[in-house]
Amino acid sequence: MTTKNNIVFVFDLDDTLYKEIDFLKSAYREISQYISEKSDFGAEAIYDKMITSYYNGDNPFQTVLDFVHSEEITISVLLDIYRNHEPNISLNASHQEILTYLKTNVYKIGLITDGRSIQQRSKLKALGLTEYFDDIIISEEFGSEKPNVKNFNFYLDKYGENYKYIYIGDNTKKDFIAPNALNWISICLRDSGENIHKQTFDLEKKLKPLFVINSLKQIPEILKKLNNFNELSL
């Protein structure tokens, strides 16, 4: 059985602890309401135009401006709303249960996420996540982003070499390079079909996670497999 004294478990945020598409939709709702108040178009029609444009691979901001023909509204204003709105997102019950489990069973829980400070902090607040983390690394605040090892070395520098480090993320292009290089245990949460960044597992060794799981509910199972870290060959 794992003990609370030997594991530092570090999470990615977007598309790992919640679906980033939910943040996008929340922002589009806010933008749609703003545009509706400044045009003759209803918020729902504007939202439908934006979300369709997104799924078509177009630029939703330019698409909606072309749709409403407004000279008053600019893309920079819409981007500001997107980045700084208070998101209507929530943490699902199973993820909350896992975080509570880890809070009881591992030494420390951390977060490494790329993005703007205000945007990422607003997500954490809306999701009610800050209470779970002992340390939070946000790229804009920290001064570097994944896959820079500095973001991960923060934990090694703070807690030392006597602990075992686990990182879980979703982005197969960048999430696992640094933890693999530092001999952390790397776990990938498989895309259920909604991720912003699509996954591939046809990867060179330095990019590959050690484990791939379909649900955060599998974390206790992974911890049991890693009961004796000293016997695990990386």
Task: Say whether both 63 and 101 belong to one domain.
Answer: no
Give residue for tokens 């605040």: 141
- Tokens of residue 200, six digits: 């591939």
C-alpha 44 chain-centroid distance: 27
DSSP H/E element including 169? strand 164-169
Q: Is 81 helix (H, G, I), strand (E, B) or coil?
A: helix
What confidence score (pLDDT) does residue 232 get?
A: 39
Angstrom CA distances, 45 to 48, 51, 136, 151, 157, stand at 5, 10, 38, 42, 51
Task: Say whether both 77 and 161 belong to one domain.
Answer: no
Task: Say whether both 209 and 184 belong to one domain.
Answer: yes
Task: Say whether both 58 and 167 belong to one domain.
Answer: no
| The total number of structural domains that make up the chain | 2
Task: Say whether both 207 and 157 belong to one domain.
Answer: yes
Which domain range does residue 225 map to?
7-18+90-231
Establish if 197 belongs to a structural domain. Answer: yes
CATH number at residue 192: 3.40.50.1000
Establish if 1 belongs to a structural domain. Answer: no
Angstrom CA distances, 137 to 68, 87, 212, stand at 39, 20, 23
Task: Say whether both 129 and 209 belong to one domain.
Answer: yes
Of 59, 84, 109, the residue at which a domain comes to its end is 84
What confidence score (pLDDT) does residue 197 get?
A: 87
Task: Say whether both 28 and 113 belong to one domain.
Answer: no
DSSP string, 8-61: EEEE--BTTTB-HHHHHHHHHHHHHHHHHHTSSS-HHHHHHHHHHHHHTTS-HH
Establish if 178 belongs to a structural domain. Answer: yes
Task: Say whether both 60 and 108 belong to one domain.
Answer: no
- pLDDT by residue for the chain (234 residues), tens only, comes to 444 668 999 999 999 999 999 999 999 999 999 999 999 899 999 999 999 999 999 999 999 999 998 888 999 999 999 999 999 999 999 999 999 999 999 999 999 999 999 999 999 999 999 999 999 999 999 999 999 999 999 999 999 999 999 999 999 999 999 999 999 999 999 998 889 988 988 888 888 999 999 999 999 999 988 765 444 333
Of 58, 84, 110, the residue at which a domain comes to its end is 84
